[in-house]
Structure 1
Amino acid sequence: MSVVWLLVAIGVLCLAQAWLFALAGPLKIGYKRTFSTSEAYEGEEIELVEVISNAKLLPLPWLRVESYISQNLQFHGQSDLTVSGGRYHRSLFFLPGYRRITRRHKVKCLKRGYYKLESVNLSVGDLVGIKHASGSRAVQAEVTVYPRLFDIGEMPTESLRWQGDVVVRRYIQSDPYLVNGIRDYAAGDRQKDIHWAATARRGHLQVKTHDFTASPRVMMVVNVQRDAGQWGELGEQEAEVIERGISYAASLAAWAVSLGLEAGMTTNGDIDGLQEPLYIEPAGGNDQLRSILGALAHLRIHRKLTLPTLLEQVEAMLPGGMDFAVVSNYWDETLEMHAGRLRALGNTVTYLPIPQAEGDRAAS
């Protein structure tokens, strides 16, 4: 008989806790999810921060948080975190009453891109599973992952030669608008550089001296085609060479900005939300670098137009005096013809082949 009463008591307790659980409002909990930073580089580790609060006296015996997250954001192993198929993330834990907890998950950014988490599913239940509830919550967690930047030792010879040429031209070209002093006239000086007021004061010819220009302006041209005939999407393995090209272009932009040069970028690839081909006017500064890196993060490896067509548009759009670096997996006579037209306008055009991967270099 005592066993029967014990079972009855247990049943009453189970029903009572289920009733209290339902009365308290199981999904009246606070939830917030953010990344520790809005910007990161490919290969870097960041944190996904969750803040969960229970404003009620009654604890939540179990709380399950589920969400879909790109497989390009790799979570470190945790005892209360399960990852299924590289995309489905589930964590289960106990939440006491009147408690707010902060959970930090280590996340490695495996690939450039823009990642936005918009919703999570929360499930809660009582101790024995009589009552449970679930619902979706909107969240705002986003991070832009920039392409990986090459170390100087990874830069190919063609790039180092081009970079050296750009630096040399910077310091041998004077800017007619940047006057930094006067000096005596010498044979070969231009008449328009004569400073007539100083000449009158000193009684002999004086000419203006000029500071070095921050030009040439560097324009990266990123080709997302593996070869001239390729049109649609590439397979994952085929796209690796273009991914290296994107990192290559990002590295050149970072190098140019670090020297105080003006850098810009254009590409024949597709970027979500843009109807026309991307064109970033050359400018200097860290904000400009972020604009270029952000565009490369959003770039899809899908051809919007051919590279010759892009160069033709650039020719009609831009003035002379630029240093074009064409980052491409191939070069042919048609591209050389368009490069010649740009050179005729006073630009320099250099073809920079995409560097080979480590395995490819070893095989060759």
Structure 2
Amino acid sequence: MLFLLFLLIVCALLCELVSVKSALSRVSYSCRPSQSVVEPGEEFQLLTTMQNGKWLPVSYLEVVQNLPHDICLNAYLGHFQSDPTVCRLYSSCFLGSRQKLTRRIKASLPQRGRRIISDATITGGDLLGFTRRFRNVPLFYEIVVLPARVEEPALSRALGGFLGDVSVQRFILEDPMLTIGAREYTGREPMKSISWKHSVRTGHLMVKELDHTVENTVTVLLNVEGGSHEELERCFSLTRMVLEALEKRGFSCSFLTNAATAGAIGQWNQVSDGLGSGHTRAILEGLGRATYDVRESFSSLVNRAVRGARDGQAHILITPAPLQRSDAFLAPLFQQSQGRLFIINAREDGMSSQEVSG
């Protein structure tokens, strides 16, 4: 009997010794969001996985997960602690031999911006609960919250009228890339429109007959210089409203901004012409990542737009500060767009817009 008791004690000590050395051996942990891009307040899930890859059970495993400070954990009954910089989510469990445990936690984020799910700390206890071992688990997952949608009926009507005018004028403007034939020179056409090939063939001057442009295109400019954080948030939301209106009406659009972005999204400060939900979604993700930092001055942004614009290209300008047609740095943009310029400003005392026409 004493020998059996001694044998049990020796086995327990051996198991304890093994468990101390291998408390976190072959124990893995991960936490990732179910979606990488969400709406403000939209519910998503945090998927946490704890796995024991060895035959010996883990009698106690504690996880402290770092989450964005403003995350809302919906209906979560466990323990979490928030401060101005981070939210810490605490959980613990027992993991049996080669057991995998997955949990789904409902969460949401209230405001626009880029959030990070970062490192976690896992703690493993020995078999008898005398000692603990710690390990840091490096994690990096992004969650981008898009700008909130805004409802501005008066602005929507004014924007709709401007886009309607642009749509009508596309049948008036000729596309220099689409030649459908030639006709006789009347003396009123510019010299650059003369088709020398047709003139030689017929023996008298002929001019190229051009087709009309077949695509509605608009350039959207977003300026973030000179605005408060509240005004810039309104600018981001107004830009979203404009982009979704363009998509709904079938307009192709390009996008330029002087806003800086957080994260690896590439050269988002200039997005070439595109059409469809995927194109709009890419710009909206950039708006979600945008910070309040300014990459370049407002005047430099306008000059960059002028250099890349075609004659008669319609422009929609969103800015936090009121502007006037008399502003000198706007003159080249007004001239390049041939007066087809729509300005939206977001002020603390309300939103306003103005259509600048020739």
The answer to whether the 8 A contact 1:280-1:292 is kept is no
Distance change in 2, residues 1:154/1:58 (3 Å): farther
| Pair 1:302-2:300 in alignment | no
**Following the alignment from structure 2 to structure 1, what is the Cα–Cα distance between the partners of residues 128 and 302?**
68
Residues 50-102 of structure 1 show CA distances to partners (whole Å, capped at 9, x for unaligned) of 12111233332332211322224322231234233362222223323221121
Which of the residues 45, 57, 69 maps onto 1:71? Answer: 69
Q: Which residue number corresponds to residue 203 of structure 1?
A: none
Quick one: which amino acid aligns to residue 344 of structure 1? Q
Identical-pair percentage: 17
| Pair 1:311-2:302 in alignment | yes
Quick one: which amino acid aligns to residue 117 of structure 1? I
Question: How far did 1:154 drift?
Answer: 8.4
Quick one: which amino acid aligns to residue 293 of structure 1? L
The answer to whether the 8 A contact 2:260-2:295 is kept is yes
**Following the alignment from structure 2 to structure 1, what is the Cα–Cα distance between the partners of residues 122 and 99?**
17
Alignment of 1:35-114 (within 5 A): 35-85=33-83, 87-114=87-114
Quick one: which amino acid aligns to residue 213 of structure 1? V
3-state SS, counterpart of residue 139 of structure 1: coil
Quick one: which amino acid aligns to residue 252 of structure 1? V
| Pair 1:346-2:337 in alignment | yes
Question: How far did 1:306 drift?
Answer: 3.6
Distance change in 2, residues 1:139/1:273 (3 Å): closer
**Following the alignment from structure 1 to structure 2, what is the Cα–Cα distance between the partners of residues 14 and 250?**
64
Alignment of 1:80-159 (within 5 A): 80-85=78-83, 87-126=87-126, 129-150=129-150, 153=153, 155-159=155-159
Q: Which residue number corresponds to residue 240 of structure 2?
A: 250
Distance change in 2, residues 1:19/1:251 (3 Å): same
3-state SS, counterpart of residue 240 of structure 1: helix
Quick one: which amino acid aligns to residue 291 of structure 2? R
**Following the alignment from structure 1 to structure 2, what is the Cα–Cα distance between the partners of residues 158 and 254?**
15
After TM superposition, the score normalised by the length of structure 2 is: 0.74
Alignment of 1:21-36 (within 5 A): 21-36=19-34
Quick one: which amino acid aligns to residue 353 of structure 1? N
**Following the alignment from structure 1 to structure 2, what is the Cα–Cα distance between the partners of residues 155 and 20?**
70
**Following the alignment from structure 1 to structure 2, what is the Cα–Cα distance between the partners of residues 90 and 173?**
64
Question: How far did 1:136 drift?
Answer: 0.2
Quick one: which amino acid aligns to residue 66 of structure 1? V
The answer to whether the 8 A contact 1:149-1:251 is kept is yes
Quick one: which amino acid aligns to residue 61 of structure 2? L
Distance change in 2, residues 1:169/1:263 (3 Å): farther
**Following the alignment from structure 1 to structure 2, what is the Cα–Cα distance between the partners of residues 155 and 83?**
42
Q: Which residue number corresponds to residue 328 of structure 2?
A: 337
Quick one: which amino acid aligns to residue 341 of structure 1? P
The answer to whether the 8 A contact 2:268-2:283 is kept is no
**Following the alignment from structure 2 to structure 1, what is the Cα–Cα distance between the partners of residues 30 and 263?**
28
Question: How far did 1:309 drift?
Answer: 4.1
**Following the alignment from structure 2 to structure 1, what is the Cα–Cα distance between the partners of residues 41 and 153?**
18
Question: How far did 1:335 drift?
Answer: 6.9
| Pair 1:164-2:164 in alignment | yes
Question: How far did 1:224 drift?
Answer: 4.2
Quick one: which amino acid aligns to residue 107 of structure 1? A
Unmatched 5+ residue regions in structure 2? 1-5, 202-207, 352-358
After TM superposition, the score normalised by the length of structure 1 is: 0.73
3-state SS, counterpart of residue 135 of structure 1: strand
3-state SS, counterpart of residue 165 of structure 1: helix
| Pair 1:291-2:289 in alignment | no
Residues 119-164 of structure 1 show CA distances to partners (whole Å, capped at 9, x for unaligned) of 2111122466312111101224222332233457585544343333
**Following the alignment from structure 1 to structure 2, what is the Cα–Cα distance between the partners of residues 123 and 155?**
55
Distance change in 2, residues 1:104/1:171 (3 Å): farther
Question: How far did 1:334 drift?
Answer: 8.1
The answer to whether the 8 A contact 1:68-1:89 is kept is yes
Root mean square deviation of aligned Cα: 4.2
Which of the residues 313, 327, 332 maps onto 2:318? Answer: 327
Residues 323-361 of structure 1 show CA distances to partners (whole Å, capped at 9, x for unaligned) of 22221232245873322321222342221122879xx79
Quick one: which amino acid aligns to residue 122 of structure 1? I
Distance change in 2, residues 1:158/1:14 (3 Å): farther
Unmatched 5+ residue regions in structure 1? 1-7, 201-206, 227-233
Question: How far did 1:110 drift?
Answer: 1.9
Count of equivalent residues: 330
